[in-house]
Every structure is written in C-alpha cells, then in structure tokens.
Structure 1
Amino acid sequence: MRILCKLQDFTQLITSSQIRSGRSALGWSATQLGEAAGLSLRTIQTAEAENGHNKVRKSSILAIKATLEAAGIEFIGTPDDGPGIRIYGGSPKS
C-alpha cells in the first residue's frame, strides 16, 4: 500500500488541468499530443480526465510532461498550491 501511495503522489507532479491547459496553449488536439508523446488517444483522454492519473502509468504521465515541456510549456506551482502553466521561449511550437 505504501508503494501505491508513492506512485500516486509521483504521478501528481502535474495535474489533469495542467495537461489540458498545456495542450490547449499549444493548439494541439489530444490526438496530436498522443502522437508526439508516443501514447494512444485513450491514454491522453484518461490522463486529462479528473482523477484520471490513478488509471495512467507513471511512464505515460512523464512522457506527456516531457513532450509538453519540449514544446515550450513550463509547469508551475504544485498540485495542491496554484498549479498552472507558463509558455516559455517565445511563441508555442506546434
């Protein structure tokens, strides 16, 4: 049980709303994010759903995070205190 709790905390490094916001800021569809991250559309949809993180693998969350960061999205705040995004490096890349 302790390992499961740690896994859930780790996947909460970014929130579902941060994933949706980052994708939207880039003008990407869920399909485009999935293709860029090497994940299925269903995985992206689950990760973006409220409480969907509990159903998505840690590696998938990390792939989504890395993909959005590489495209110019910075994740700010923490899941419990002012989570958000910032676009850096000029205009978003698509």
Structure 2
Amino acid sequence: MLTTGNQLRAARALVGMDQGTLAERAGVNINTIGAMEKRGASGLVSGLDKIQAVMRALEAEGVEFLNDGRPGVRLRAGGTRDEH
C-alpha cells in the first residue's frame, strides 16, 4: 500500500514518470501528486480513492509497494509494464 510521500516519489523515480504524467494516468490533479509528495516521510492524508488511483497507475508500470514495517518500492520482476 502507498503510505508516504517519499514512497510515492521513489516509485515515480523507478519508472521515470513525471508528476503530470502520473496525475493524468491516475485521473487526479497534478497538485494532488505534489501535495502527496510534500508529505515526505509522513503518512498520506489524501482520500483513499486518490491514493488507490495513484497506486494503481504506478502498479501498471511495474511498481510493487512494500510495507513490511517500513514503506518501500521495487520494480516487479520480468518487466516494467503490464501487458494488457
């Protein structure tokens, strides 16, 4: 689950996506992405629907969200994009 601004920024960096592209693919305003990232290590406060939309957009690019006690991200093995 996407939980912090730093995790979001790291996920975007892994797939080389700018804020505008992510906002478009997630169906949210670019200011939403900026506000989420500005939270840094703090927990996200955007609505769950927005967080899930951003998360799905990044997962479609191959990002996996890790939360085993510490938020993290990695690229899914075998490629960076869903094939559908």
- Whether the 8 Å CA contact 1:34–1:44 is kept in 2: the answer is yes
Q: For the residues of structure 2 that align with 1:44 and 1:31, how far apart are their CA atoms? A: 8
Say which structure is richer in helix. Answer: 1
Structure 1-normalised TM-score? Answer: 0.73
* Alignment pair present for 1:65 and 2:49: no
Unaligned runs of 5+ in 2: none
2:30 corresponds to which of 14, 22, 41: 41
- % identical equivalent positions: 33
Which is greater in Rg? 1
Return the letter of the residue paired with 1:73: V
What does the per-residue CA deviation read over 1:2-53, in whole Å, with 9 as the maximum and x for residues that have no partner? xxxxxxxxxx752211111111111010001001101111011111111472
The CA RMSD measured in Å over matched residues stands at 1.9
1:75 corresponds to which of 31, 45, 65: 65
